Structure 1
Amino acid sequence: MARVRIRGIYATALTKMLMDKGHSIVQPSEKIASRFNIGIDNSPSDVTVKDKDDGDGVVVIGFPSEAREIYNDIVSAIPYTFRSISQVELHSVYLARVEKNTENTCIVDTGDFKTELTPCREKPGDKVIVGVAKTALYPWEKISVTRSFRLLGKLVALIHGMQKVTFSEHIRDQGLKARLTALAVSRLMGSNLGVHFRSSARFAEPSEILGEIEFLLNEYKRVVSKASEADAPLKLYRGELVGVIGFTSLSKNILDDIRGTVTPTIRGHHSLRSMGLGDMVEAMEHCIVNGCSGDSVSRCIWEYVLARLAEGGVIHIRHVKPTGEALDLTPGRIHRIERSVERVRVIIKRVISGSGLYDGIGVEKKPGDLDYMVVEPGKPYIVHNYYRDTTWLGSYINVNTPPELSVNIVKYHDLLVDVAVAPGREPIVLDKDELEKTFSAGLIDPRLYEYALKTLEEIARDPTRYLYNP
């Protein structure tokens, strides 16, 4: 079992799920400690789980075996995710062999991967120690290495090639920084090594820090000695495993349910918080704590979102791909909102400004064309209906997770397959091979893959019933 530090908007749900798996929660926030009635354990973590920069999922980072266990536990318990895990550990250290040198840039072979090293004056066949400064999470990303490398401990990292003291962003107290610096200098003076104090160092005793520095110094000597004697390529020291898990609207619904077993939680809690409405969510859940009906409060928030959308401001559209990219499409404005007992349809009017061809429709784009984009909350598609004046050019049915709506944004996770419908032509299924390839690469949860295929099958039966005529 691993010791896990969890931060961010998914902390309550993930704490519940990981505690049920038997893991220990360390360095909990006061709110988490109170909710779960656990003591404050400030021992170093093996793994950190924190929000992605866009708030749309989490990053799992830590010592390889423990981080992989936590990553696997999350993706097995929370289905319908986009996910990726590094095949090469961040900050791992390799003895690489130079394959080619061109104008101060070498191609080096580490045994696990090949990449560029700059600057480089070594000749082909020479060996060089490199550290992984940036790992790759997606097929289109490159691994970056440098001559500077670090050996990671739980409290500190020793750094070859940088003779200075640095601190985690979580260590802010100037007095503590001064004391930690004095400790490092007392042991590393003359070693030509730098040191980085990790966030857990702020809770550690001086003797613990000095003990880890001593251990890492011995590891450094071992690594350098081994590199001088061994043949390249060879991995010299482990780094940290990095995993990214993207939570779709379907995943967030499950996280809402898990959180709801711990504390009052409105429907859409994690979706709304991921889109910047955390204060409003907190206020509404405070109402539930004080006796209001959870269903009533959830309906109230939904009505508020629709009312704000109906005001007609600019609506931003975020299209999230399983390859890690997030595209901001040309924004639009609300054309109309249609409501019935069975459904809600939000129609967004977008003015086309680009050029090229409408994919699968075969018609040239012209500035001033209109896209009537139909968004149905809870439905696994978005429909783009293209018009030039009053002439219908064709429609494009995008298969995706049910869209998430806030007061000025529509966000959805693209499932890659689409159906194109054009006048006088049979409907065309597009990019099914992209879905297959992405699933084979492990970037899409198996349940989400099946969900995409089922949705595509349903749409393909009669695509015309999804179209919109303004």
Structure 2
Amino acid sequence: MDAIKLRGIYTTAIAAILVSHGFKIAQPSKVTAERVGESHVTNEAPQAVIIDKADKQGIRIRGLKEVVDKAAEAILEELGDAIVRRYSPGLYSVYAGVVKERREDVYIVELEGGKGILKCREEYSEGQKVLVCVVRPGFAGSAPHLSTQVRVTGRYAYLIRGGRITVSEWIKGWRHSELLNLGRMLKPAGWGIKWRSSAERAKTTELVEEIASLKKRAEELIRRFDEAASASLLMEGEQVIEMEFPRDVKLKLDEKRGEVAVTVRGHHRLKAAGPKFSALVDLAEELLKKLDVRRELEQILERKLEEWLEKGGNLLIEHSTLKGNVYKLGPGKVQEVNHSQGKIVVLRQFKGRGRYDGLDVPKEEGDYGLTEISLNGWTTTTRYFSKEGELKGIYVNINTPPELYPGKIRYIDLCIDVVKIPGSPAKIIDREELESYWKLGVIGEKLYRKALQEAQKVMERLEAQPLE
């Protein structure tokens, strides 16, 4: 039985997907249990956990590799165009590492299959063996970050070398105090205990047995480290997969949630917009249980998101990348809002000197840009001008259809772009970068082909019309 625990704004929709693929939902809230059905629920400790990303724009799946991979496959089968980032090595994987060099305040440590970055107070010499675990896995070529506070992972608890007794922030009240006291009684010498959220409903006998088992594993780990002659993996950690949801995927999630609970269109985008909009969604969905006013309520919610959007107002552009970085462009001044044509035009001022990336033309004091965002399309077009109003070039970013949020608009950049400067033909750039993310599995073939198609259409359109 594959059991997964869920927490966050995507819980109901993802739970509905998982139970249709044969998963059990571990230790759910009463509301979630009622929505998915008691036959799909278990109080056993989960083998994987799904929580919101910090920015609420997707989810993070963590746990046993085979269960995490299987869950990700099931979710992707339903959602298609989600952005997928598979991190490695596993979180809390433990290594016998070898110090290769020191760079300022960090050490570069050789691991089995690669290198990691260790930042610590201890002093090490080149060639010294060191026991480390992964605290931040790498992605797309980035090195993992390491710690000497090694963790041994269980279903209810972690043993942490040199750590204290702590309890998951999700466990409150008397149970929190009870687990602290139990931890003090069971704490092995030289190790701390962190009780996981799954410990809240566990029996005391189960917790005692787990700590005894983790203690044996910790002793075996130290023995294997002492015997290791070179860099080697001593214990596999937890698989981590992150999924980011573009606008159209959130709409699919709205539909999935709607199969088991009353759901307004835009539920997940509005929930991601912050506490104010989250409360409005809850109120609207309570009203829908009693009144047939879906269309009116959805229009009101959309207007609330757009009410700040007016000519002369500020707009921040949130540019999320396939690698997971987020760049905030602007804010710029809104010049035009045209819902019938589905576009917003923003004036952006540029400072400093240099050259514009992609266009390779000089960047000078007084330059400005007019950025046209296609509200229902796949492009964000910036026309760059000198302070005299002379067009320097056009840069068309290919991205997922954008989402409006209070004070900002957000999209996911698909790497590939189209550029044109006066006197030269339009050209597609960064095609290879898009292809590399497709080959990594970050995007699926459908989204990859769509980005290529959009870039080709833009290039042909720019070639067919004069610059203006």
Same fold (TM > 0.5): yes
Deviation at 1:459, TM superposition (A): 1.4
Residues 65-84 of structure 1 mapped to structure 2, 5 A cutoff: 65-84=66-85
Deviation at 1:47, TM superposition (A): 0.8
The 1:307–1:128 alpha-carbon spacing in structure 2 relative to 1, beyond 3 Å, is: closer
The 1:60–1:300 alpha-carbon spacing in structure 2 relative to 1, beyond 3 Å, is: same
Report the counterpart of residue 434 of structure 2 in structure 1: 435
Deviation at 1:242, TM superposition (A): 1.0
Q: Distance in 1 between matches of 2:36 and 2:311?
A: 41
Deviation at 1:329, TM superposition (A): 0.3
The 1:106–1:374 alpha-carbon spacing in structure 2 relative to 1, beyond 3 Å, is: closer
The 1:102–1:358 alpha-carbon spacing in structure 2 relative to 1, beyond 3 Å, is: closer
* 26-35 vs 405-414, greater mean Cα deviation: 26-35
Report the counterpart of residue 256 of structure 1 in structure 2: 254
Deviations 1:383-412, CA, capped at 9 Å, x for gaps = 112233443332211110111113421101
Letter in 2 for 1:371: G
Deviation at 1:10, TM superposition (A): 1.3
Report the counterpart of residue 452 of structure 1 in structure 2: 451
**Residue pair 1:386, 1:392 contacting (<8 A) in 2 also:** yes
Report the counterpart of residue 7 of structure 2 in structure 1: 7
Q: Distance in 1 between matches of 2:392 and 2:125?
A: 59
Identity %: 27
- 1:52 equivalent in alignment to 2:53: yes
Report the counterpart of residue 398 of structure 1 in structure 2: 397
* 296-305 vs 45-54, greater mean Cα deviation: 296-305
Q: Distance in 2 between matches of 1:407 and 1:376?
A: 18
* 240-249 vs 459-468, greater mean Cα deviation: 459-468
Q: Distance in 1 between matches of 2:297 and 2:232?
A: 59
Q: Distance in 2 between matches of 1:128 and 1:378?
A: 53
Secondary structure of 2:38 counterpart: coil
- 1:375 equivalent in alignment to 2:373: yes
Deviation at 1:49, TM superposition (A): 0.6
Report the counterpart of residue 239 of structure 1 in structure 2: 237
The 1:83–1:339 alpha-carbon spacing in structure 2 relative to 1, beyond 3 Å, is: closer
The 1:381–1:106 alpha-carbon spacing in structure 2 relative to 1, beyond 3 Å, is: closer
- 1:94 equivalent in alignment to 2:92: no
The 1:303–1:161 alpha-carbon spacing in structure 2 relative to 1, beyond 3 Å, is: closer
Tell me which of 132, 135, 138 is aligned to 2:137: 135
The 1:104–1:310 alpha-carbon spacing in structure 2 relative to 1, beyond 3 Å, is: closer
Q: Distance in 1 between matches of 2:360 and 2:380?
A: 20
Q: Distance in 2 between matches of 1:65 and 1:184?
A: 30
Deviations 1:413-435, CA, capped at 9 Å, x for gaps = 00111111222321121211221
Deviation at 1:147, TM superposition (A): 2.5
Q: Distance in 2 between matches of 1:360 and 1:219?
A: 53
Q: Which runs of 4+ in 1 moved over 4 A?
A: 98-107, 464-469
Deviation at 1:122, TM superposition (A): 5.1
The 1:104–1:360 alpha-carbon spacing in structure 2 relative to 1, beyond 3 Å, is: closer
The 1:121–1:371 alpha-carbon spacing in structure 2 relative to 1, beyond 3 Å, is: closer
Residues 9-408 of structure 1 mapped to structure 2, 5 A cutoff: 9-38=9-38, 41-99=42-100, 107-117=108-118, 118=120, 119-121=122-124, 124=127, 126-139=128-141, 141-162=142-163, 164-173=164-173, 175-188=174-187, 191-276=189-274, 277-310=277-310, 312-340=312-340, 343-387=341-385, 388-408=387-407
Q: Distance in 2 between matches of 1:273 and 1:186?
A: 42
Letter in 2 for 1:73: A
* 32-41 vs 459-468, greater mean Cα deviation: 459-468
Q: Distance in 2 between matches of 1:13 and 1:394?
A: 44
Q: Distance in 1 between matches of 2:308 and 2:286?
A: 22
Secondary structure of 2:309 counterpart: helix
Report the counterpart of residue 422 of structure 1 in structure 2: 421
Deviations 1:210-247, CA, capped at 9 Å, x for gaps = 11111111112222223333433332222111111111
* 344-353 vs 45-54, greater mean Cα deviation: 344-353
**Residue pair 2:273, 2:406 contacting (<8 A) in 1 also:** no
Letter in 1 for 2:370: Y
Please, which runs of 5 or more residues in structure 1 have no aligned partner?
Answer: none
Deviations 1:107-128, CA, capped at 9 Å, x for gaps = 433313223445343562x543
Deviations 1:69-120, CA, capped at 9 Å, x for gaps = 2222223322112211122111111223445578997543331322344534
Q: Distance in 1 between matches of 2:202 and 2:465?
A: 60
Q: Distance in 2 between matches of 1:105 and 1:404?
A: 39
**Residue pair 1:383, 1:467 contacting (<8 A) in 2 also:** no
Letter in 2 for 1:47: A
The 1:186–1:292 alpha-carbon spacing in structure 2 relative to 1, beyond 3 Å, is: same
TM-score normalized by structure 1? 0.90
**Residue pair 1:137, 1:243 contacting (<8 A) in 2 also:** no
**Residue pair 2:24, 2:42 contacting (<8 A) in 1 also:** no
The 1:311–1:44 alpha-carbon spacing in structure 2 relative to 1, beyond 3 Å, is: farther
Deviation at 1:23, TM superposition (A): 0.4
* 244-253 vs 297-306, greater mean Cα deviation: 297-306
**Residue pair 1:385, 1:467 contacting (<8 A) in 2 also:** no
Q: Distance in 1 between matches of 2:289 and 2:464?
A: 43
Letter in 1 for 2:403: E
Deviations 1:155-212, CA, capped at 9 Å, x for gaps = 11112233x2122111232x434332332232336x2221111111222222111111
The 1:453–1:308 alpha-carbon spacing in structure 2 relative to 1, beyond 3 Å, is: same
**Residue pair 2:320, 2:412 contacting (<8 A) in 1 also:** yes
**Residue pair 1:101, 1:120 contacting (<8 A) in 2 also:** no
Please, what is the CA RMSD of the aligned residues?
2.6
Q: Distance in 2 between matches of 1:399 and 1:147?
A: 43
Letter in 1 for 2:280: M
The 1:121–1:372 alpha-carbon spacing in structure 2 relative to 1, beyond 3 Å, is: closer
**Residue pair 2:152, 2:158 contacting (<8 A) in 1 also:** yes
The 1:2–1:312 alpha-carbon spacing in structure 2 relative to 1, beyond 3 Å, is: farther
Letter in 2 for 1:398: N
Deviation at 1:327, TM superposition (A): 0.3
Q: Distance in 2 between matches of 1:123 and 1:308?
A: 57
- Count of residue correspondences: 462
